[in-house]
Chain A
């Protein structure tokens, strides 16, 4: 069953309209395999989820797409163009923006300076939106303009981090657990901001542990367990089957580990 489902995903990968095309991506840390051959596609303007339990390799997948951790195999293409495996700054300049897990703002810099760094990757392209729109979308960035980023609350930092990524005017936004550690109200704020970003036509690859929310928000979602994609779901997929995949796969992962 697994084979047929992920096989379907690879069929999609061959289609020509793919914005992001990841084929057989592998990442290893020392002897442990974090990502064991992942293939996925994100089309232009599409919002795709990547869900799975803790330690499934989701974050590593995003970092490897960005070129921020070394790939041990596989190929990543953006609009058919191969992305550098070791130069994230060039990947960023080609139109991929990453909001890493834990936000990672430059804590000692002001919000304004953080946002200015976000604009770097844009180069000379004229953006698809006005910078003021970003300010309206994330009022925090206006309100605390000259505040040190490290002093903001978690939810505020997340907004600044997403705004910083958005200011790069990316074609593809990679988001790593934007809801992690946030209060429910802050989570709602983040997701409503993402809804606006979707409307701007920016494609999103969203890594989340909150399966239900992600399934609902994304047009398609990949379920990743034990370094592999086990399942491709959409809004009509019942949440129960995803949960079964989580647990079923946990035992599969355990048995693989013994091997």
Chain B
């Protein structure tokens, strides 16, 4: 495989992480809450695909959407609504606990062995063989992410619902005073998160057809890194941050030798620490943007 091939793969993984990052950014924008549990909604979706492995693919995918949206809404009612008004940090800590507990729940229910999902396996075939080795799933990844992100942009900036969501994100209190029913806006945000989780669950299981208990937390932690690097407070930057982290990770994974590869995690997190200390509003944010400091 050539460098171009690696690049295309990196764009594909970046696109996947951008989708996760945009969900985290959306909830943070609207509610100032950190949604680490998003990862477990994706894991839940992926396991549901294994449960429904006997069903036709289109039906399983459809049901997976319903399941992820329902899961997302249940979390909103049980976890996020009671935490409204709490600090973002509290939500980070609580949803970390929720994620950790759900991961253990998958272990109890599904066991430690990975569950094979062979759905849409043909998407892993190559479109163009040889040097570039382009697979169908890569095209699907990039295409889906592009369509969804554009769709989200249109929703946010070209619809009345999006206007209301942006109003809540910009100023929660004033939005309520002009008559925005925040509960509906929040519900929409979590429906979108659920749908995005389903997309990621499907794409991820097609590429890596083995669902394991750590799927959710490992994906969400990397996405959160991207969101922080890009800038939590700004949806487009957060999404771009998610994309960059996925892209760089994939590219380094392809070109670095194994011995150095293991320390990529350390370098990534070291980078996170440096950014938090030096540019707390995010790497992509304009200079001088504020953050919590003493």
Contact = CB atoms under 8 A, between A and B. Distances in A.
Touching chains A and B, CB distance < 8 Å:
yes
Interface of A: 66, 68, 87-89, 92-93, 97-98, 100, 104, 106-109, 113, 116-118, 120-121, 164-165, 168
A107 B170 contact: yes
A177 B178 CA distance: 18
Contacts of A106: 166-167, 170-171, 174
A168 B179 contact: yes
A88 B171 CA distance: 14
A117 B177 contact: no
Contacts of B179: 89, 92-93, 120-121, 168
Given A106-B170, A106-B171, A116-B160, A68 B178 contact: no
Given A89-B177, A98-B177, A104-B174, 4 more contacts: A88-B173, A92-B179, A109-B167, A120-B164
A165 B178 CA distance: 7
Contacts of B180: 89, 117, 120
Contact-size category for B:
10 to 19
B176 A88 contact: yes
B248 to A, nearest CB: 29
A104 B45 CA distance: 41
B181 interface: yes
B159 to A, nearest CB: 11
B177 A66 contact: yes
Contacts, number: 57
B77 interface: no
B163 A116 contact: yes
Given A117-B163, A117-B178, A120-B180, A109 B170 contact: yes
B167 to A, nearest CB: 5
Q: Indicate the member of A68, A89, A104, A165 with the most B CB atoms within 10 Å.
A: A89
Given A89-B182, A107-B170, A108-B170, A68 B163 contact: no
A120 B170 contact: no
7 contacts: A68-B173, A100-B177, A106-B166, A109-B163, A120-B164, A165-B178, A168-B178
A87 B123 CA distance: 50
B188 to A, nearest CB: 15
Nearest to A123: B179
Interface in B162-194: 163-164, 166-167, 170-171, 173-182
Contacts of A113: 163
B44 to A, nearest CB: 32
Nearest to B160: A116
A88 B177 contact: yes
